[in-house]
């Protein structure tokens, strides 16, 4: 059965009620607590970004109100028409796991994905902390394994493929057993969470750019919320299909052994420079103390909080005038809040990213030569791996692909200059 | 509660529209001011308030044969012998400022960041939207240039020895974007992406100059990589709070010397 709250909020939305949205939220909450059905799920605000931007509680509320109006709740998602999202698909994926028609199950996202990716898509599900790599946080809208240029969004088909294949070598499972309509619904829901998360980040960052006259209030006009904030996000999703990487066919009469030899030269040479990160042995032991974008963000704020606390500890308050004292206290309160946000479940402990051990032959983004071409051409978005595009011409990228494909089988005993290969290296 | 409410109600408050139009009309009237033909130069000097720390030396742990030969220092805070603070960014925050005819061409001139001696040269660079930014590599080792823009699509390209690649930005960035090399993690630089040529980066002696700014009221914004948007400074001997590094000034024709601006040592302790 649909929960009362869903019906209420959906009706409100459909009625295009002109009530204050905050009031609508309150009604929703009251009903849920009063109706005794499944507890309402809520989208966790992006507290790391909110705290980084030093938002006041009032500003956090402004963002939550706009987010509620634009995107609804996990039980009753809505999507502004500008997003191009299909609400019917979202309904199928959203909400608690339940069935109101025999043979049709709703709540797919919470059934299959939320324990890793979190109800909010923030990568903070209950199992997340135990996994390596961590499940993807969709909110920055950054995806790794796709057929589009580096900074572009994945296509619909890319996401379908990820769900179909899973991500080998990580905990992300394959959902090949789900029916195509269910996969469609889940893909739509991933896009929804991603667009929602990006919009939230954009809103939180917008306070900084406000003019003084705005007095810390975001404009609640359509020009601002849709044209300035939402549209730049949705446009990128809509143009993904136009951003496909053009892949010339590998020459059909290519001499494989010669191609592998050329690829090897490129791999260890200065132009493609793969060796710098993947190491002289291709075991992924080159540049190993870097972070991906998600972890780097946390590393940076943690540093700021740590040094801020140290400094505050050294600061003597004697002799401060009342204004300086108030500022000092404000800074302490902010540091304290940030400390709590970072330790209190809004962020995971940062981990470095290991360049892939290419002797394993396990490729997260797919093992077709085409997949490797995409990875090398565009690099890996969100990860340190740079794009070879523009530097390495297509035919040479194919040589590198062939060499990479040969690496797990390169059994001549020589692993570059360092040492002979031992069986363990391959597992 | 206009759009947010209207999202459901599908109606926009007419009153607000009218208000917006009035403002727009006022802006047009203001822009038509006769002073538009006058242009001024904004200049000044940033000075460090306190004893400047010496920049720590960095040790190259990658490509040591090449990078180890260069003296590398932490460039986050560069204070000259006479207390001048280098690499402080000052730009005109207003987006629709009129651009002096002499400066129009600067948008098509190449801006260059070189990977040289295992560091980025320059450390902080102003670049305009639409202006070609060339990332080149004069070193004998390969680098990559990872640009962490927020509004523009981020990019990360391999740049082999002797190679180069060109990027352009379509939107301005409210906060300067970091440029790093993942192969040599000590390498860091900053790109200040602005919609017009009105910005400058202070030189080694702390001085800066922004030429040919249209006379009238403008808002400057002041940023430094360690201090962030500079919240306070002592200008001509007077302590001043400038929230978010924003300072409104009236530009007159000719020289507008802001004088010595002292940035307290505490601002840089991050």
pLDDT value at position B24?
A: 41
User: Residues 287..326 of A with a Cβ closer than 8 Å to B: which?
Assistant: 287, 289-290, 293, 304, 307-308, 311
Determine the pLDDT at residue A31. Answer: 40
SS3 track for chain A: CCCHHHHHHHHHHHCCCCCCHHHHHHHHHHHHHHHCCCCCCCCCCCHHHHHHCCCCHHHHHHHHHHHHHHHECCCCECCCHHHCCCHHHHHHHCCCCEEEECCEEECHHHHHCHHHHCCCCCCCCCCHHHCCCCCCCCCCCCCCCCCECCCCCCCHHHHHHHHHHCCCCCCCCCCCCCCHHHHHHHHHHHHHHHHHHHHHHHHHHHHHHCCHHHCCCCCCCHHHHHHHHHHHHHHHHHCHHHHECCCCCCCCCCCHHHHHHHHHHHHHCCCCCCHHHHCCCCCCCCCCCECCHHHHHHHHHHHHHHHHHHHHHHCCCCCCCHHHHHHHHHHHHHHHHHHHHHHCCCCCCCCCECCCCCCCCCCCCCCCHHHHHHHHHHCCCCCCCCECCCCCCHHHHHHHHHHHHHHHHCCCCEECCCEECCHHHHC
Secondary structure class of B19 (helix, strand, coil)? helix
pLDDT for position A411? 59
Q: State the pLDDT confidence band at A98, using cuts at 50, 70 and 90.
A: confident
* Poorest-pLDDT segment among A88-92, A129-133, A417-421, B202-206: A417-421
Within 8 A of B155 by CB-CB distance, chain A residues are 150-151, 387
Q: Where are the domains of chain B?
A: 1-36, 40-97+198-270
The number of C-alpha atoms within 13 Å of B67 and in the hemisphere containing its C-beta is 22
Whole-angstrom Cα distance, residue A71 to residue A94? 12
CA-based angle B113:B118:B122, to the nearest 5?
30
Provide the pLDDT for residue B2: 61
> What is the mean pLDDT of the segment spanning B83-97?
95
pLDDT digits 0-9 by tens, A351-398: 999 999 999 999 999 999 999 999 999 999 999 999 999 999 999 999
- Chain B contacts of A304, Cβ < 8 Å? 270
CATH of the domain at A358: 1.10.760.10
**Overall average pLDDT of the B114-123 stretch:** 97
d(CA A233, CA B243): 29
Q: What is the mean pLDDT of residues A215-220?
A: 94
Both A116 and A149 in a single domain?
A: yes
Residue A360 and residue A330 share a domain = no
Closest alpha carbon to A316 in A308, A328, A334, A304: A328
Encoding tokens for residue B169?
């930005």
In this prediction, residue B85 carries a pLDDT of 97
Residue (of A366, A369, A355) closest to A403 by Cα position: A369
Q: Please report the pLDDT score of residue B6 as a whole number.
A: 67
**Residue A421 pLDDT:** 52
Query: What confidence score (pLDDT) does residue A20 get?
Result: 37
For the entire predicted model, the pTM comes to: 0.87
Local structure of B251: helix, strand or coil:
strand
What mean pLDDT is predicted for residues B185-208? 97
Confidence of residue A299 (pLDDT cuts 50, 70, 90): very high
- From B2, B155, B165, residue closest to A391, measured CB to CB: B165
Query: Which of B65, B93, B144 to mutate to probe the A interface, most A CBs <10 Å?
Result: B144
Same domain, A82 and A178: yes
Q: Do A307 and B270 touch (CB under 8 A)?
A: yes
Domain identity same for A133 and A18: yes
Residue A191 has pLDDT above 50, yes or no: yes
Mean pLDDT (whole number) for A299-306? 93
Tell me whether residue A422 is in a domain.
Answer: no
Identify the band that residue A312 occupies on the pLDDT scale cut at 50, 70 and 90. confident
pLDDT tens digits along B204-255: 999 999 999 999 999 999 999 999 999 999 998 899 999 899 999 999 999 9
Residue A427 has pLDDT above 60, yes or no: no
DSSP state of B5: H
Q: CB–CB of A150/A381 below 8 Å?
A: yes
Cβ separation B3–A150 shorter than 8 A: no
Is the domain of A302 the same as that of A277?
Answer: no
Distance separating alpha carbons of residues A169 and A171, to the nearest angstrom: 7
Please tell me whether residues A221 and A305 are part of one structural domain: no
pLDDT at residue A15 is higher than 90: no
Say if the Cβ atoms of A391 and B269 lie within 8 Å: no
Task: Examine the domain organization and report whether A312 and A394 are in the same domain.
Answer: no
Q: Measured between alpha carbons, how far is A52 from A46 in angstroms, rounded to an integer?
A: 10
What confidence score (pLDDT) does residue A99 get?
Answer: 82
A209 against A411, higher pLDDT: A209
Q: What is the pLDDT of residues B121-172, one digit of tens each?
A: 999 999 999 999 999 999 999 999 999 999 999 999 999 999 999 999 999 9
Put simply, the answer to whether A150 touches B155 (Cβ < 8 Å) is yes
Confidence band (pLDDT; 50, 70, 90) for A319? confident
Tell me the pLDDT tens digit for each residue of A276-294.
999 998 999 888 889 999 9
- Residue A123, sorted as left (phi over 0), alpha (psi -120 to 50) or beta, turns out to be left
* A293-314 vs A322-343: helix crossing angle, rounded to 10: 140
**A73-94 mean pLDDT:** 95
Torsion from C-alpha of A342, A141, A227, A19, nearest 10 degrees: -60
Instruction: Output the pLDDT for position B103.
Output: 96
Give the pLDDT score at A56.
95
Contact state of A311 with B16 under an 8 Å Cβ cutoff: no
Q: Within this chain, do residues A110 and A233 fall inside the same structural domain, yes or no? A: yes
CA-wise closest residue to A233 among A56, A70, A12? A70
**Residue A208 belongs to a domain:** yes
Residue A328 lies in a domain: yes
Going from the C-alpha of A28 to that of each of A16, A23, A99, A120, the distances in angstroms are 15, 9, 22, 18
In a domain? residue A55 = yes
Strand partners, B135: B113, B165
Residue A421 falls inside a structural domain? no
Closest Cα to residue A153, out of A172, A168, A140?
A140
Helix (H/G/I), strand (E/B), else coil: B213: strand
| Average pLDDT rounded to a whole number, residues B110-126 | 97
Residues in chain A: 427
Structural domain contains residue A61? yes
Average pLDDT, chain A: 88
Is the residue at A416 inside a domain? Answer: no
A32 touches chain B (CB under 8 A): no
Looking at residue A37, its pLDDT comes to 55
CA atoms within 13 A on the CB side of A178: 27
B18-68 pLDDT, tens digit per residue, is 334 333 433 433 444 444 589 999 999 999 999 988 999 999 988 999 999
With a CB-CB cutoff of 8 Å, which residues 98-157 of chain A face chain B?
A: 150-152
**Do A315 and A271 fall within a single domain?**
no
Fold type of domain B40-97+198-270: Immunoglobulin-like (2.60.40)
Contacts of A143 in chain B (CB under 8 A): none
- Same domain for A111 and A132, yes or no, is yes
Number of domains chain A contains: 3
| Chain B residues with beta carbon closer than 8 angstroms to that of A311 | 269
Q: Can you give the pLDDT at residue A420?
A: 52
Domain-located, residue A313? yes
> What domain range includes position A306?
298-337
Asked whether residue A149 falls in the same domain as residue A255, the answer is: no
The band of B95, judged by pLDDT with boundaries at 50, 70 and 90, is confident
Closest CA to A111 of A165, A50, A185: A185
d(CA A398, CA A266): 11
Band (pLDDT 50/70/90 cuts) for residue B15 is: very low
| Higher per-residue pLDDT: A312 or B78 | B78
3-state DSSP of B50-105: CCCCCCCEECCCCCHHHHCCCCEECCCCCECCCCEECCCEEEECCCCCCCCHHHHH
Say if residue B262's pLDDT is above 70.
Answer: yes
Tokens for A187? Answer: 């893909």
Residue count (chain B): 270
């Amino acid at each position: 059965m649909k929960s009362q709250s869903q019906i209420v909020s959906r009706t409100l939305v459909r009625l295009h009620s002109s009530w204050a949205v905050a009031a609508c939220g309150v009604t929703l909450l009251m009903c849920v607590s009063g109706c005794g059905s499944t507890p309402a799920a809520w989208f966790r605000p992006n507290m790391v970004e909110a705290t980084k931007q030093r938002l006041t509680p009032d500003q956090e509320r402004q963002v939550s109100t706009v987010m509620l109006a634009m995107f609804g709740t996990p039980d009753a998602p809505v999507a502004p028409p500008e997003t191009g999202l299909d609400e019917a698909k979202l309904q199928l994926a959203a909400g608690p796991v339940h069935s109101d028609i025999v043979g049709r199950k709703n709540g797919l996202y919470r059934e299959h994905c939320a324990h890793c990716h979190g109800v909010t898509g923030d990568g903070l599900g209950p199992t997340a902390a135990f996994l390596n790599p961590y499940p993807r946080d969709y909110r920055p809208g950054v995806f790794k394994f796709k057929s589009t240029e580096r900074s572009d969004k994945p296509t619909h088909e890319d996401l379908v493929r990820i769900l179909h294949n899973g991500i080998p070598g990580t905990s992300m499972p394959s959902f090949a057993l789900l029916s195509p309509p269910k996969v469609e619904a889940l893909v739509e829901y991933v896009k929804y969470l991603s667009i929602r998360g990006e919009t939230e980040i954009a809103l939180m960052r917008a306070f900084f750019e406000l003019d003084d006259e705005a007095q810390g209030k975001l404009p609640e006009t359509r020009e601002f919320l849709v044209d300035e904030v939402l549209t730049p996000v949705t446009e990128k999703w809509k143009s993904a299909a136009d951003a496909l990487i053009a892949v010339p066919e590998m020459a059909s009469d290519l001499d494989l052994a010669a191609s592998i030899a050329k690829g090897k030269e490129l791999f260890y040479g200065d132009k493609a420079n793969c060796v710098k990160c993947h190491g002289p042995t291709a075991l992924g032991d080159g540049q190993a103390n870097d972070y991906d974008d998600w972890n780097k963000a946390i590393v940076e704020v943690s540093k700021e909080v740590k040094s801020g606390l140290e400094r505050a500890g050294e600061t003597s308050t004697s002799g401060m005038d009342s204004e300086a004292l108030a500022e000092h206290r404000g800074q302490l309160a902010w540091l304290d809040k940030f400390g709590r946000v970072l330790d209190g479940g809004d962020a995971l402990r940062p981990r470095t990213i290991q360049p892939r051990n290419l002797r394993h032959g396990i490729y997260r983004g797919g093992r077709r030569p085409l997949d490797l071409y995409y990875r090398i051409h565009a690099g890996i978005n969100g990860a340190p791996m740079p794009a070879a595009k523009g530097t390495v011409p297509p035919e040479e990228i194919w040589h590198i692909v062939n060499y990479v494909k040969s690496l797990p089988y390169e059994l001549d005993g020589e692993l570059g200059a360092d040492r002979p290969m031992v069986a363990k290296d391959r597992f | 509660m206009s759009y947010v409410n209207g999202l459901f109600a599908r109606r926009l408050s007419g009153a607000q529209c009218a208000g917006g139009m009035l403002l727009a009309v006022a802006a047009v009237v203001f822009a038509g001011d006769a002073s538009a033909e006058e242009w001024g130069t904004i200049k000044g000097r940033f000075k460090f308030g306190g004893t400047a720390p010496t920049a720590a030396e960095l040790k190259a742990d990658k490509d040591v044969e090449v990078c180890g030969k260069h003296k590398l220092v932490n460039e986050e805070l560069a204070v000259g012998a006479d207390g001048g603070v280098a690499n402080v960014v000052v730009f005109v925050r207003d987006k629709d400022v009129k651009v002096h005819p002499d400066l129009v061409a600067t948008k098509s001139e190449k801006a260059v960041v070189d990977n040289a001696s295992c560091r980025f040269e320059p450390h902080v660079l102003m670049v305009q939207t639409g202006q070609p930014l060339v990332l080149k590599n004069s070193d004998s080792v390969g680098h990559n240039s990872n640009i962490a823009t927020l509004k523009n699509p981020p990019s990360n390209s391999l740049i082999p020895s002797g190679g180069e690649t060109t990027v352009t930005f379509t939107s301005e960035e409210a906060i300067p974007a970091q440029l790093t090399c993942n192969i040599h993690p000590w390498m860091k630089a900053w790109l200040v992406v602005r919609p017009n040529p009105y910005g400058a980066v202070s030189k080694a002696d702390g001085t800066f100059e922004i030429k040919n700014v249209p006379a009238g009221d403008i808002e400057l914004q002041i940023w430094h990589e360690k201090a962030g948007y500079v919240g306070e400074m002592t200008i001509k001997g007077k302590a001043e709070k400038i929230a978010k590094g924003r300072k409104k000034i009236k530009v007159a024709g000719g020289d507008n010397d802001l004088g010595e601006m002292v940035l307290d040592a505490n601002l840089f302790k991050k």
